[in-house]
Amino acid sequence: MFISDVPVALQESSPAATSACRCRLCGSTLSETFANLGMSPLANSFIDPRRADRMEPFYPLHAFVCSRCWLVQLGEFESPQAIFGDYLYFSSFSDSWLRHAEAYAAHMIGRLGLDGGATVVEIASNDGYLLQYFQRAGVQVLGVDPAANVARVAVDKGIPTEVAFFGAETASRLRARGVSPRLMTANNVLAHVPDMHDFLEGFRVLLAPDGVVTFEFPHLLRLMQENQFDTIYHEHFSYLSLLAVERALGEHGLTVFDIQELPTHGGSLRVFARHAEAAAPAVTPAVEAMRRLELEFGLRDIRTYRAFASRTVAIKCDLLEFLVNARRQNRSVAAYGAPAKGNTLLNYCGVGPELISFTVDRSPHKQGLLLPGTRIPILSPEAITERKPDILLILPWNLCDEIVQQMGVIRDWGGEFAVPIPTIRTL
């Protein structure tokens, strides 16, 4: 079990020089706005209270859509190393996400017949939340993650982890070392890479000839249908549809052969791919069905993207009205969670401690810090029962059911839950 000490192969792009003027997939000039959320700090750059009086960098949060390949994207204003080098998101603090990971491992072990002779490689493996389930079944595993602090947690669990950004160079180095995975998986990471081509080339290089790779990512179609503009933040360089992903994979010799729709992150796709020259598995009808669904919604019609922008303004106004009315009625509001999506929402709406006095989070790595931009303090969940807020605003709305179950005690003093997306509502 190890954390590699080899130099990290960073994706060499200059934030200052890489603006949103060129599409990162096809190189076309970008001019069509998808959502302009103003200026915002990095969504996971939490603030130490001792540094609360220091300046904090804000960057444009302006998403464009490419009218040639239909990739929705942000410009790169900060390097991946600055964003992910010391990360404060630990996957294992979500019970529902652990259940999701365990179910995926069981499914893939059965589907591919994985045993002790097979290797599974996960890209952006975080704290070992997924690979632990393959390892328990006797399958060999290797994680790759750029955040040394998170990777160390995985290694302490016995999950071997390579600390590196994944791309062609890292893949070549692993391949030279004899790594040849039957399964590669990348959950919620494809959207996080500014150099999509280098990243995907890594899968072509490393994947075994008969291997399968799966990508999970929030589905652009669901983002638009459910007004999930708060999932736009600087860590997410791209917002993905099947139309765009198929094109990207095809340019690196990979073919999509199956798709599953998932409820995670407000609605995600799990895309299964193989080497284009492989004879199997055969392409399933689910692939063509999803292509049709995206086309019928209008994901190749620029008017569909233009209509999305105006809806974000309406949600901002509704949330502010809700919070201002609560303040005027002397009803206290706290939030649950410190997710990146919550930081986008609160900064776009200009909400601070005057309207939301504090938030809570299960992760001890976030407790005691302040939310970026808004400077709302992050406390432990016990603060809810101690302070008894009248309203608990659920920022990670994708985990709404889990949080309502965990925090049902607020109903004991007449408190209620509120969820901001797709529209503000109480539960």
Average pLDDT over residues 335-353: 95
Residue 349 has pLDDT above 70, yes or no: yes
Write down the pLDDT at residue 420: 95
Q: What is the pLDDT of residue 82?
A: 54
Kindly report each contact of residues 358-363 with a partner whose C-beta sits within 8 Å and lies 24 or more positions away, as own/partner: 358/334, 358/383, 358/387, 359/334, 359/335, 359/395, 360/334, 360/335, 360/336, 360/384, 361/336, 361/337, 362/93, 363/88, 363/90, 363/93, 363/338
- Return the beta strands (E) in 70-154 as ranges: 72-73, 119-123, 140-145
pTM for this prediction: 0.81
pLDDT band at 374 (very low <50, low <70, confident <90, very high): very high
Residues 312, 227 contacting (CB under 8 angstroms)? yes
Band (pLDDT 50/70/90 cuts) for residue 16 is very low
Give CA torsion, residues 9, 11, 14, 15, to 10 deg.
Answer: -120
User: Residue 6: its pLDDT value, please?
Assistant: 34
pLDDT at 97: 80
SS3 content of the chain, % helix, strand, coil (to 5): 35, 20, 40
- Would you call 204 helix, strand, or coil by DSSP? helix
CA distance 32 to 63: 9
More confident: 88 or 321:
321
Which whole number is the average pLDDT over 102-107?
96
What's the pLDDT band for 90 if we cut at 50, 70, 90?
low
pLDDT, tens digit (0-9, with 9 covering 90-100), for 109-144: 999 999 999 999 999 999 899 999 999 999 999 999
**pLDDT at 4 (0 to 100):** 37
Q: Residue written as tokens 């239909």?
A: 70
Tell me which of 19-28, 87-96, 252-261, 268-277 is least confident.
Answer: 87-96
Q: Residue 344 has what pLDDT? A: 96
Question: What pLDDT score does 8 carry?
Answer: 32
Place of tokens 């392409």: 283
Q: What is the percent of the chain with per-residue pLDDT over 90, rounded to a whole number?
A: 79
Cα distances from 188 to residues 126, 223, 236, 287, 302, in angstroms, run: 11, 14, 9, 20, 26
Query: What is the model's pLDDT at position 265?
Result: 76
Pick the range with the lowest mean pLDDT from 55-69, 73-87, 288-302, 385-399: 73-87
CB 47, CB 56: distance < 8 Å: yes
Average pLDDT, the chain: 90
Share of the chain above pLDDT 70, in %: 91
Mean pLDDT of 67-76: 90
pLDDT band at 91 (very low <50, low <70, confident <90, very high): low
Q: Are 336 and 393 in contact (CB under 8 A)?
A: yes
Ordered by where they begin, the domains of the chain are 91-300 (3.40.50.150), 310-426 (3.40.50.720)
Residue 79 predicted with pLDDT over 70: no
How distant, in Å, are the alpha carbons of 116, 212, 282, 300, 353 from that of 113?
10, 12, 17, 38, 52
